[in-house]
Amino acid sequence: MTAQLERRALVTGASSGIGKSTAIAFAQQGIDLALVSRNQPQLEAVADTAAAYGVKVQVYPMDLSEVHRVREAITQIVENSGFINILVNNAGMGYTKDLFDTSLTDWQRVIDLNLTSVFQCIQGVLPSMRQRRQGTIINVTSIAAHQTFPGWGAYCVSKFGLAALSKTLAAEERAHGIRVTSISPGSVNTSIWDTETVNADFDRSQMLTPEVVAQFILQAALLPEQAVIEDLILMPNAGTF
């Protein structure tokens, strides 16, 4: 394999759900990995599964909600890896509450993790990607980046913001050989529905699976360099919940 074809991916939120499935899908294609998540035991379990496919895997337990630390930490991961030419920004949180009842603390928590941490991850990898004039940044947004849902205000705002971040970044970095993809899944059957910040009762059997979403992330990463999927909406056949 030539140096130009060597791929190393940094995946956030890699301990479960879409991030875990993406890490494994990448490993199956021979892509080396740097995996980020708060949950170190689960992260190490994912790393063991991925490493079985013969790729190099490094784990970095990190709380991305501590946004003031993120850029420096991501820069260090890039230095440790030699380079990162695929960044998958997948980490995020769900949140349900009417805007009127949303506290400023909760609002900031959602924006920090779902939007600001992504911004900081991007700033951490861009210098290396610009130097190499090659890189792919894939932001996992949501159907809530295109459509608003009552009771999901802070979440929708964070995802609309992420969509705008993706489009602006694509326009700015195209001249540096960097592609930006926004992937917006509908409802996905992950542990987000079990978290204390989400109060929703949907039929999870009708949702997309993390494995399906991961396959589209993989295809976006493997496209020839002269092509890019700019914005992909991926929905369960059952429609919007």
For 47-94, what is each residue's pLDDT tens digit?
A: 999 999 999 999 999 999 999 999 999 999 999 999 999 999 999 999
Residue 11, CB-side half-sphere exposure with 13 Å CA sphere: 33
CB 166 within 8 A of CB 185: no
Q: pLDDT grade, residue 240 (50/70/90)?
A: low
Residue numbers annotated as active site? 155
Q: pLDDT grade, residue 192 (50/70/90)?
A: confident
Rounded to two decimals, the pTM is 0.93
**241 in a domain, yes or no?**
no
**239 in a domain, yes or no?**
no
Nearest-angstrom CA–CA distance, 192 and 92: 9
With vertex at residue 54, the alpha carbon angle to CA 50 and CA 56, rounded to the nearest 5 degrees, is 70
Nearest-angstrom CA–CA distance, 213 and 101: 32
CB 93 within 8 A of CB 140: no
**51 in a domain, yes or no?**
yes
pLDDT digits (tens, 9 = 90+) for 138-162: 999 999 999 999 999 999 999 999 9
The pLDDT of residue 238 is above 80: no
- Reported as type and span, the H/E element at residue 21 is helix 17-28
**240 in a domain, yes or no?**
no
The pLDDT of residue 2 is above 50: no
Q: pLDDT grade, residue 215 (50/70/90)?
A: very high
**8 in a domain, yes or no?**
yes
Question: What is the CATH classification number for the domain harbouring 37?
Answer: 3.40.50.720
Domain that holds residue 33: 3-234
CB 126 within 8 A of CB 76: no
Give φ, ψ of 25 to 5 degrees: -60, -40
CB 42 within 8 A of CB 18: no
Total structural domains within the chain: 1
Q: pLDDT grade, residue 3 (50/70/90)?
A: very low
What average pLDDT score do residues 110-131 get?
A: 98
